[in-house]
Amino acid sequence: MAAYTSAHAPLATADALGDTASSASTTTTPDDDDDGLHDFASDSGFDSGSLLGDETDTLASSILNHRMENGRQYHAYRDGAYWGPNDELAKEILDFAHHMYLLTLDQKLHLAPVQNPQRILDVGTGTGIWAIDMADQYPAAEVTGTDLSPIQPEWVPPNCHFEIDDVSLNWTFPPAHFDFIHIRELFGCIPDWDFFFAQAYAHLAPGGWIEIVEHSVQPRCDDGSMGPDHFYHTWGKVVIEMGDRFGKSFTIWEESRERMERAGFVDVVEVPYKWPMNGWPKKNDKMRNIGRWNQLRLMDGVEGFMLRLLTQVGGWSVARAQLHLAQMRRELKSYRTHAYLPGTVVYGRKPLSG
Ligand SMILES: C[S@@+](CC[C@H](N)C(=O)[O-])C[C@H]1O[C@@H](n2cnc3c(N)ncnc32)[C@H](O)[C@@H]1O
C-alpha cells in the first residue's frame, strides 16, 4: 500500500528508538547548522522546507531529529505543528495526566462499553501509556498508537505498536478497520474537528466505538472564591486566544458531543468531570487527591504547555512569557481559590448499518 507507507512511518526499529531516547539531549537539530537555515534539501526526499519525504525510510530518519527551542526539545516531523515539547519533562507530565485520568475514571481506561475489541487505535498517543495499558487489558486486541513524536518506549506488549503519523491528514488505514478509537488531550492539535470525526467514522467498523477525553483550559469556580480579576481568567483567555491564532482551538471538550453526533455517531454519552487546580477540596478525598496531582502537573507543566504558543504564536518575549508562567505557579499555590478545570469524556458508536 503505497499511500500507507508515505503517510505513516512505522515507528522504527527498537534500535532506532533506543538511539533516539539515549541521544535526545545531544541530538543535532535541523537549526544547528552554521547558516541557521534548515538543511532539508541535503536529505534525499526533501525538496523544499517540507519534512515530508516520499519514502518511508527517509521519513523515519528525519523524525529522529528534534528541534531545540528556548531550552525545550520539540518534535521534528511536521515541524511546528504541535505546541508541546517532547522532552523527558514533557513525557513525565503526560504520564502524570494518565494517572489523573485513572483516578478520575476510577481506574478505568475507557467508559465506552467496548466488547472484545480486536483493533484499537489511540490517536496522538504521546508516551503511549494508554495504548500499552490497553494492550495489557485486551491481549487479544492489536493496539496501534500514532503520534508526531517518536517518544514511545521500546519495550511494549507484543500486541501494541506505534506509528509516526499526522492525524490531521487523510487517514490511510483501511476503511471500517477499528473496533475502538481513543482520543485524549488533542486540544490545540486539530485544525478541523469535523474532518477529524469524519475520518474516525470512516475508519471505525460498523458498531465500533469512539471515545474522546478532553478538558477546558479556563479554570472555573462555583463558590465565588475566584473574583472577576483573578489571574486564572487571564490565563484561560490567553490560552484560548493563542489556540485561535494557531488555528487549533482548545474548546473541543465542550463541543465533542455535538460534533460526534453531526458526524453520524449514535448512542453518544457525555460524562463530565472536574480537575481541581490544587488540593483545595478539603472534604472530598478523591477530588483532593486529583487536585494535588493537578497542582504538580501544572506547576511543572505550564512552561511546556505555553512557552511555544506565547513566544512563537503570540510573539511574546521569553522574559514576558516566563513572568506569565511564574504568576500562574504562584496562583496554583493558593488554596483560597476553589477553582477547577471542567472536562468531558464523550463516547459514541458507529451505527451497525450506514
Ligand atoms: C497533550 S498530548 C496527549 C498524549 C496522549 N493522548 C495522552 O493522553 O497521554 C498530545 C499529543 O498529540 C500529539 N499530536 C499533536 N498533533 C498531532 C497530529 N497532528 N498528529 C498526530 N499526533 C499529534 C503530540 O505529539 C502529543 O504527543
The strand pairing partners of 74, in sequence order, are 67
Mean pLDDT along residues 95-117: 97
Q: pLDDT tens, 295-354?
A: 999 999 999 999 999 999 999 999 999 999 999 999 999 999 999 999 999 999 999 985
d(CA 240, CA 70): 22
Domain boundaries along the sequence of the chain? 70-350
In angstroms, how far is the first alpha carbon of the chain from the final one?
A: 26
- Is the pLDDT at 54 greater than 50? The verdict is no
Other Cβ atoms within 10 Å of 234 Cβ, number: 14
Gap from CA of 5 to ligand 1 centroid (Å): 20
For 271, the 3-state DSSP assignment is strand
More confident residue, 79 or 49: 79
Distance from chain centroid for Cα 16: 23
The pTM assigned to this predicted structure is 0.86
The residue type found at 327 is: Q
Mean pLDDT along residues 184-192: 98
Tell me the best of 66, 96, 171, 186 to mutate to test the pocket of ligand 1, counting ligand atoms within 8 Å of each CB and taking the most. Answer: 186
What is the homologous superfamily of the domain 70-350 according to CATH?
A: Vaccinia Virus protein VP39 (3.40.50.150)
Average pLDDT, the chain: 86
The atom of ligand 1 lying closest to the CA of 151 is 27
pLDDT attached to residue 60: 61
The residue type found at 328 is: M
Burial-class residue 228 by CB neighbours within 10 Å (0-12, 13-18, 19+): exposed
Nine cell digits for residue 123: 490517536
- Is the pLDDT at 118 greater than 60? The verdict is yes
- Is the pLDDT at 189 greater than 50? The verdict is yes
Exposed e or buried b for every residue in 64-94, given b needs 16+ CB within 10 A? bbbbbbeebbbbbbbbebbbbbbbeebbebb
pLDDT attached to residue 65: 76
**Beta carbons within 8 Å of 93's beta carbon, 6+ residues apart:** 297, 300, 301, 304
Q: What are phi and psi of 191, to 5 degrees?
A: -70, -30
The residue type found at 227 is: G
Q: pLDDT tens, 215-242?
A: 999 999 999 999 999 999 999 999 999 9
User: What is the CA angle 234-236-239, rounded to 5?
Assistant: 105
- Is the pLDDT at 12 greater than 70? The verdict is no
Q: Is the minimum distance from the CB of 124 to ligand 1 under 6 angstroms?
A: yes
More confident residue, 132 or 23: 132
Q: Is the minimum distance from the CB of 82 to ligand 1 under 6 angstroms?
A: yes
pLDDT attached to residue 50: 30
Q: Is the minimum distance from the CB of 219 to ligand 1 under 6 angstroms?
A: no
Strands 266-276 and 204-215, sheet pairing:
unpaired
For 297, the 3-state DSSP assignment is helix
In this predicted structure, which of 8-12, 77-81, 174-178 has the lowest mean pLDDT? 8-12
User: Strand (E) positions, 21-169?
Assistant: 67-69, 72-74, 119-123, 142-147, 160-164
Position 22 confidence tier, pLDDT thresholds 50, 70, 90? very low
